[in-house]
Amino acid sequence: MKAIALTRYLPIEKPESLQDIEFDMPMARGHDLLVRIDAVSVNPVDTKVRAPKALVEDEPKVLGWDACGLVVAVGEEVSLFKEGDRVFYAGDISRTGCNAEFHLVDERIVGIAPESQTPAQAAAMPLTTITAWESLFDRLLVDLDADNSQRSILIIGGAGGVGSMAIQLASRLAGLSVIATASRSDSIAWCEKMGANHVINHHSDIAAQLSELGTNEVDYILCCNDTDTHFEAMVEVIKPQGAICCMVDSRGRLDMNALKAKSVSFSWEFMFTRPKFRTEDMIEQHHLLSEVSRLIDEGTLQGTLTKTMSPINAETLRAAHAEIERGAMIGKLVVSDWE
């Protein structure tokens, strides 16, 4: 089967950074589904894993953690899916990635793809939606059954993939007042389209801009951007007994003592935690994706695909990685269709 892989970690402009390689067909065992891949999305995690380093792989390594495709075989323990199901998922960073014609994935982190979406549209959704959902409802503990109309959330980096979904989930499902950040006219317009009540600039004084909106504090903060750069501002504007969730690694030490006086909760979100560590609640990602698929089909949530490239091969994926590394993407980028 065709796949795109690397053995050396190189700058993306190097042709050897991602290469077309032939692999043996994998076989489904246990809880695994064998999925014929129709489309894959490229995320910042792909570029971070591929980033230049001295390591050399003994065997070609396949990246890719966002996919939509058709189930063509199932393991003997599979109970949630059958051959012929169209599925979408973000996968497991500790296993072989989905930039291949056929891919093995544990059924417990897979959902039935939305019927109303194309494979490319569906492939854009899983990783960022899982990240946003877990951030809001598992880390920040936003209560979906509560009246949240008087509560607010600041989403730093609202126009990216995770921010796009977090705005929708926070506003349309949880009923929070959403303040997103963006710095360009097109990204501001995108945040507003996703459902943000207000949009401010994360390159300017966040506290001062909140004050101009008539508030000095927010109940929740989800930082999808540079954790170090925004940490002091988050400490300043979070409400006493509020909660902060970050998803971008810090480059240095964060002063957690600064949160003590306000009794603020701080958490990290890494959507690969459940599959990587085979947690007891690993199947929650299946439930989550199934619910999101329903919400998309009924029109409550909308897709975030903004750019599609094809075909799926090394040249196209190198171009997709370069686009992500430029850091100006709005929404999601998907690579679809094999040659």
Residues of the chain with pLDDT under 50: none
CA dist., res. 156 & res. 173, Å (int): 19
pLDDT of res. 62: 98
pLDDT of res. 275: 97
pLDDT of res. 169: 98
- Set out the domains of the chain in order of their start, with CATH numbers: 2-125+273-336 (3.90.180.10), 129-268 (3.40.50.720)
pLDDT of res. 99: 98
Instruction: Give every CB contact of residue 165 below 8 A, 6+ residues apart in sequence.
Output: 125, 128, 129, 131, 132, 133, 301, 304
Q: Is 64 left (phi over 0), alpha (psi -120 to 50) or beta?
A: left
pLDDT tens, 299-328?
999 999 999 999 999 999 999 999 999 988
Residue 57: burial class (beta carbons within 10 Å; 0-12, 13-18, 19+): exposed
pLDDT of res. 230: 97
Residue 12 near residue 318 (C-beta atoms within 8 A): yes
Helix (H, G, I), strand (E, B) or coil at 314: helix
pLDDT of res. 331: 95
* Six-digit token string for 275: 């599959």
pLDDT tens, 5-42?
999 999 999 999 999 999 999 999 999 999 999 999 99
pLDDT of res. 234: 98
Peptide bond into 26 cis (omega under 30): no
Buried b (16+ CB within 10 A) or exposed e, 319-335: ebbebbbeeebbbbbbb
CA dist., res. 334 & res. 330, Å (int): 12
Residue 222 near residue 249 (C-beta atoms within 8 A): no
CA dist., res. 163 & res. 329, Å (int): 12
Helix (H, G, I), strand (E, B) or coil at 37: strand
